Amino acid sequence: MRLAIDAAKKAAAHDDVPVGCVLVKDGQVLGTGENRREVEQDPTAHAEVVALRNAAKQLSGWRMDGVTAYVTLEPCAMCAGALLNARVSCVLVHCLTLEFLELSLEHQMKRPEQLGPVTTC
């Protein structure tokens, strides 16, 4: 989570919303990302999407089975969908709102095989 917080600080340094994400598998960092919407003028350049793109390059593939995402703030709908579609196994979120926690738990009860535990750190 420390690496994700460091990434969030980078986002803040270039006037983006301070969100960071790190993707890890078997103790190895596969991809990191910070919000880059302002820098890239790209509405999809959220921390999670940037990290997924970087990890996909390193893996030479899009499937993230066995990967854990460390995210500093709850993922938005786009990023949650991207993490799910990439088959990320577990998402650890540093800051949650009650609404996100309720939605996450509801999803896990319906389809627990699709998304690993969502916890606070």
Within 8 A by CB and 6+ apart from 49, the residues are: 33, 78, 79, 82
Known catalytic membership, residue 48: yes
Within 8 A by CB and 6+ apart from 78, the residues are: 44, 46, 49
Q: How far apart are CA 119 and CA 116, in angstroms?
A: 10
For the record, the structure tokens of 36 come out as: 């880059």
Set 34, 38, 48, 113: catalytic member = 48
Q: Is 70 left (phi over 0), alpha (psi -120 to 50) or beta?
A: beta
| Catalytically active residues, by annotation | 48
